[in-house]
Amino acid sequence: MRGIKVVSRQEYDEEIEGKIQKLTKYAYITQKDLSEIIGCSSATVKTELNKLGVESNCFGWPTIKVINVLGLQPYLDNLIKLRKSCRA
């Protein structure tokens, strides 16, 4: 059980809300934000998106394309369900 970080409900809610906002609020997502959402290094994100043919520009990667190519829609749906259940 070492390495498990205990967080308060408020911190947990803020983390979920932050991930939902990053995936839905803007038309483009940055490499840093995407790496935090997925939970891997920035270099891995860039390498994988390049392999999958998703091109970035000065704003980042097109969020909707990233969601579709990486199959993040079920993940986003689960985050939204979790947010609703926490608030109920």
Percent of the chain at pLDDT exceeding 70: 92
User: Is the predicted pLDDT of residue 19 greater than 80, yes or no?
Assistant: yes
Pair 71, 38: CB distance under 8 Å? no
**Mean pLDDT throughout 81-87?**
77
CA proximity to 70, closest of 12, 15, 23 = 23
Distance CA 68, CA 75 (A): 11
pLDDT of residue 63: 93
